[in-house]
Amino acid sequence: MEIPKSKLSFKYIALRTFFAVLAAFLISSLKLDFIESYFFDLRTVIKTFFEPKQIDTPIAIVLIDDKTIEKLQGDPKFKDHIRFINQVSSHNPKYIIYEFRINDNNEFIDITGTLEEKKEFADAVKNIPNLAVSTQDLQMRGVMQKPTLAPPLDGLTLFSMPFTADNKSFGNDGVSRRIMFQYQDKSMMQPIIASYYNPEIQNVERIRGQFFYLDSLQTYINFHAKGSFPSYKFEDVIDQKVPKNAFENKIVILGSDAEKSIKDYASTPFSRESTAMTKVELQANQIQTLIDNNSPVRVPKPIDIVITILISMFTVYVTLSLTPARGLLILGATLFGVAFIATFFFIVFGLWLDLAHPFLAIFLCYYFFIPYRLIRENRKSWEYYQKHKLLSEVEQLKTNFISMMSHDLKTPIARITGMTEVIYKDPVQLSPHQREALDTIRHSSDDLLKFINAILQYGSIESQGVQLHKQSKDINQLVADVVKKHQFLANVKKIKIVQELEPMFPTSVDPELMKQVFSNLLENAIKYSPDESMVHIRTREENDSLIIEFQDQGMGIPQEDLPNIFMKFFRTHNAKTTTIKGSGLGLYLAQYFVELHKGKITVDSSQDKGSKFTVELPLDK
Ligand code: ADP
């Protein structure tokens, strides 16, 4: 039973949508942060391609590297730092940040010297209020005492300027991606320093992209590529080799790049190496992000779910409705398209669209629905196969039945014809009325016999095909024989048969079959032509072929019937409206026999303009 199309498609659409939405919800509920972090990093890297090498920044960094240590014959001592601070201060910086490791006794690890020198350093920094010594320690709620360095440096306050790394969250890969700018309602030092340049963020609620995480407020770092901040060497600063006013109004961050401890470094979206970036540069990135207040904003979860649902529905539609190759192409393009749009939003608007869930939706929906489609199509082709088998069995039965019937009809027809001849030859004079009746009987039984013969031939073609019995024959002779046989029929309709037969070499054909082809064509030409018209038969050699044409001035064949004219049992509309009898098998058999000889038969005709049938046979080599 046929299901109405509208009902079928509605049911299917509803079912597909249901499964797509279900799949999308399942996929969205998966925690794919480790993949998402990878896509975040990738977008960060791509973003930096579009940035200038040196960014416009109020931050300058100063590094102590191996060369510095070599030159000073060891880590810079307190006395070197006194020179450093005096030099930098002479430029009138906004802030100096000491980014050094501190041990449990609250002493600098990499700055040493005698007690005297230490005291001198303490005296020197006393006059510099805008100096901050960074610490990872967070001042806990309720603890009033501010943490300080151990005496004699206890005049120096330690400021919480923490770093975070994704060790137990998000990417789980130890990469630094976040800034913690507030902990237990207490602001960290980075937003305070950044607010000198961007007063808007004095109100931390204004910090873009912020989220709550473990009693703290955080946001994502808008990274700049390594080397984006102007960087100076420690020894150049103390030797006064840096340009005048290089630090004027700047935030100067001093720290180590001597590869002494991995604690001086962090891994970043650019590289997961543990020494990918100095903490100094990471701190610069954190503060710069807050100054520009342009942290990437992660779009809310519901939007991620909606995008995943839409992508799932689209994937299911493409997988089930398009051809496999095209579907794959479109899904590939969708994958790139989504990645491109997400990257564009990230770079231009700082919007972070999740990619892991939509991508997984494309893969899963594709791999889940492809087998479903295969099963469905397999079942369909199996049904087609069964139907086809049944049809050919029915066709076979029909052919057998027609052949059997026709065969059995041949004997009574032969008897009728025989008896008619007996009456014709009887010396008893027939009345004109009786003679007319006898003529009708003879014609009718002739027609019937032709019809039965055509059916029998058709039956044998369909069941076992026809064997060729070829002989070398003069085609013109065969044509002449056929004309002779049909002369009586032509005379009845006063039709003139004109033969223009060029002499030709004999060629090997099955004479009986070929005669039948010509008979069918000539008989049609006479049958479908008006009285007193002409039928032309022409033969000639052309290249390696023999051409035999039958042209009449008859009713012609309508344009729309021409493509079907050689089909079995086909009769044109104009022929069916006349009293001319026919089985629709003559041309089918003619074409079959001609093609058996590796020739071809064509027709050129239009309604009321006559018809020309052309048989082309290959010449013997
Ligand atoms: P039929 O026994 O009906 O003549 P054919 O297979 O010989 O069967 O021809 C198929 C149909 O093609 C005919 O029924 C007729 O409609 C059309 N046809 C064939 N020959 C001619 C012709 N010379 N002029 C017009 N129509 C023709």
User: pLDDT per residue over 428-480, tens digit each?
Assistant: 888 999 989 999 999 889 888 888 888 888 877 877 778 889 999 999 999 99
Q: Is-contact 98 88, C-beta < 8 A?
A: no
- Protein residue with least CA distance to atom 13, ligand 1: 571
Mean predicted confidence (pLDDT) in 78-101: 94
Mutational test site, ligand 1, from 561, 581, 587, 589, max ligand atoms within 8 Å of CB:
587
Residue 6 has what pLDDT?
Answer: 45
Q: Is-contact 404 452, C-beta < 8 A?
A: no
CA of 218 to the centre of ligand 1 (A): 90
CA of 418 to the centre of ligand 1 (A): 30
Mean predicted confidence (pLDDT) in 508-512: 93
More confident residue, 540 or 169: 540
Residue 407 has what pLDDT?
Answer: 79
Residue 7 has what pLDDT?
Answer: 47
Q: Which residue intervals of the chain bear CATH 3.30.565.10? A: 468-618
Strand partners, 178: 220
Write out pLDDT tens, residues 351-400.
999 999 999 999 999 998 889 889 989 999 999 999 999 999 998 888 78
Query: Which of 116-125, 252-261, 277-286, 574-583 bottoms out in mean pLDDT, i.e. has the lowest?
Result: 574-583
Residue 4: pLDDT over 50: no
CA distance 254 to 240: 16
Residue 193: pLDDT over 90: yes
Mutational test site, ligand 1, from 557, 581, 613, max ligand atoms within 8 Å of CB:
557
Residue 1 has what pLDDT?
Answer: 37
CA distance 138 to 188: 9
CA of 526 to the centre of ligand 1 (A): 11
3 state DSSP class of 515 = helix
Mean predicted confidence (pLDDT) in 198-220: 94
Which of 16, 42, 131, 585 shows the shortest CA–CA distance to 342?
A: 42
Residue 258: pLDDT over 70: yes
More confident residue, 56 or 453: 56
User: Which atom of ligand 1 lies nearest, measured to the CA of 552?
Assistant: 23
Pocket of ligand 1 (CB under 6 A): 520, 524-525, 528, 552, 554-557, 565, 570-572, 575, 582-588, 611
Q: Is-contact 45 272, C-beta < 8 A?
A: no
CA of 76 to the centre of ligand 1 (A): 112
Query: Which of 399-403, 467-471, 519-523 bottoms out in mean pLDDT, i.e. has the lowest?
Result: 399-403
pTM above 0.75, yes or no: no
Residues 6+ apart with CB under 8 A from 158: 102, 106, 133, 134, 135, 137, 146, 147, 148, 149
More confident residue, 292 or 5: 292
| Architecture of the domain delimited by 468-618 | 2-Layer Sandwich (3.30)
Confidence of residue 139 (pLDDT cuts 50, 70, 90): low
Mutational test site, ligand 1, from 448, 529, 555, 565, max ligand atoms within 8 Å of CB:
565
Write out pLDDT tens, residues 577-586.
888 888 899 9
CA of 519 to the centre of ligand 1 (A): 12
Confidence of residue 411 (pLDDT cuts 50, 70, 90): confident
Residue 211 has what pLDDT?
Answer: 95
Residue 509 has what pLDDT?
Answer: 94
Q: What is the mean pLDDT of the chain?
A: 91
Measured distance between the N- and C-terminal CA atoms of the chain, rounded to whole angstroms: 58
CA distance 506 to 483: 19
Residue 144 has what pLDDT?
Answer: 62
Residue 491 has what pLDDT?
Answer: 95
Mutational test site, ligand 1, from 458, 497, 518, 571, max ligand atoms within 8 Å of CB:
571
Q: What percent of the chain has pLDDT over 90?
A: 70
For strands 59-65 and 251-257, give the pairing.
parallel
CA of 584 to the centre of ligand 1 (A): 7
Residue 141 has what pLDDT?
Answer: 62
- Protein residue with least CA distance to atom 20, ligand 1: 524
Mean predicted confidence (pLDDT) in 217-243: 95
CA of 553 to the centre of ligand 1 (A): 14
